[in-house]
Amino acid sequence: MATGNFARTAVPAARGRVLQYPLGFGERLTRVLETRGSGGPCVLLHGAGARADRWRSGVEVLGARGIRALALDLPGHGFASKGGGIDYSVAGLASFVGGALDELGISEATLIASSLGAHVAARLAIDRCGFATKLVLVGPTGLLPLGQEMRNSIAANLRNQTMEGVRRKLARAVADARAVDEDWLVEEFRINNSPGAHESFEQLARYVETRLDDDSVAGDLRQGGSGCPLMVVWGANDIAVPIGTPEDVERACGRAVVALVPDAGHIPYVENTEGFWRCVLPFVEE
């Protein structure tokens, strides 16, 4: 499945300070994690039920390469705006991200994003043709249909933010459930039960159940809508989103680099950070 000689890519040790700050734009709010650098920028987006700091190690790795890297919270997640009056569709989330990046003065970037965040990044790249210099989609929705059963499962996970529900969700996201320690569990539980979070997750769950597959970006990507090189990555043990073959990906969205990260599930950049960046850095820095 993997393409390219990734084994020779040196992944630098994380170093340098990660800045963390709130960002307001209009009536909206998000949180940004950032490393300063002259290269880039790279913008990293998380998936449903997660938050920007899932990408902290990635921000550090890119920062160690001298690349300006930014991760931000999607609305309804982390420390971003929550509750009603927010469009939780893929297009709405892409508009939110675009507004935040406009506020930061970022006019083009490499987009590296996971799961629902990958769907959002692809939509942003299509809607703002020329904005994305490269596009890395990790365990993405929006390329291959999930089907009603899987969409219902994702929606149920979004609605169940009890301690046990969070534990099951995290265990499903990794290849080795022993990676889910109590600190991770408690932090996830508290953030996902913060004021406004339940209303946000309910609205997002309804969207996932009813419209997510309808908002596929595959056709637009196949027609060159993003105007940039594409890489699609899965953890080799991902059970949350269907893993596609290179042929599946090419049929869905045209030419792309396709890779599997060993010893990892749905969030390979967390579970096998070194293996993930060994795959992705050559594409990003090419």
The enclosing domain of 90 has a CATH number of 3.40.50.1820
Rg (CA), the chain: 17
Residue 153 lies in a domain: no
Instruction: Answer yes or no: are the C-beta atoms of 233 and 139 closer than 8 Å.
Output: yes
Q: What is the pLDDT of residue 9?
A: 57
Integer CA distances (angstroms), 225 to 129, 221, 253, in order: 7, 5, 10
Residue 207 lies in a domain: no
Q: Which residues contact 8 (CB under 8 A, 6 or more apart)?
A: none
Q: What are phi and psi of 274, to 5 degrees?
A: -65, -45
Residue 118 lies in a domain: yes
Residue 180 lies in a domain: no
Residue 177 lies in a domain: no
Q: What is the mean pLDDT of residues 279-283?
A: 96
Integer CA distances (angstroms), 228 to 20, 66, 109, 150, 284, in order: 29, 22, 11, 30, 12
Write the pLDDT tens digit of every residue in 98-149. 999 999 999 999 999 999 999 999 999 999 989 999 999 999 999 999 999 9
Q: What is the mean pLDDT of residues 3-32?
A: 75
**Residue 104 neighbours by CB distance under 10 Å:** 17
Give the domain extent around 41. 6-144+216-285
Q: What is the mean pLDDT of residues 263-285?
A: 96
Residue 199 lies in a domain: no
Number of structural domains, the chain?
1
Q: What is the mean pLDDT of residues 25-32?
A: 95
Model confidence at 7: pLDDT above 80: no
Write the pLDDT tens digit of every residue in 164-173. 999 999 999 9
Residue 155 lies in a domain: no
Write the pLDDT tens digit of every residue in 122-134. 999 999 989 999 9
Q: What is the pLDDT of residue 2?
A: 46
Q: What is the pLDDT of residue 62?
A: 95
Q: How far apart are the C-alpha atoms of 246 and 217, rounded to whole Å?
A: 17
Q: Which residues contact 66 (CB under 8 A, 6 or more apart)?
A: 37, 38, 39
Q: What is the pTM of this model?
A: 0.93
